[in-house]
Amino acid sequence: MGQQEVYTFLKKNKNRWFFSKEISKRLGVSIGSVTNCLKKLRENKAINFKGTNRKNQFKYRYRD
């Protein structure tokens, strides 16, 4: 599982924000794999993200 699968998932659902746990369940892969991919996509500014009220928790969305 790589960044492309996560990116494609977010692109198909571009109008909605997701937690990493939701993405993990939808794709059927481990939360660790998804978290690592999301981190790399965040660093490359390929996706939008925003913090939540909980520390170190983010929501993710496709960047137009």
Over its length of 64 residues, how does the chain's per-residue pLDDT go in tens digits?
Answer: 789 999 999 999 999 999 999 999 999 999 999 999 999 999 999 999 999 999 989 999 999 8
Burial degree of 50 (CB within 10 A; 0-12, 13-18, 19+): exposed
pLDDT, position 64: 84
What is the domain extent for residue 54?
3-62
User: Of 16, 11, 25, 2, which is closest to residue 64 (Cα–Cα)?
Assistant: 11
Provide the number of structural domains found in the chain. 1
Say what the pTM is.
0.90
CATH number at residue 53: 1.10.10.10
DSSP secondary structure, 4-63, as one string: HHHHHHHHHTTTS-EEHHHHHHHHTS-HHHHHHHHHHHHHTT-EEEEE-SSTT-EEEEE-
Cα–Cα dist 48/43, whole Å: 10
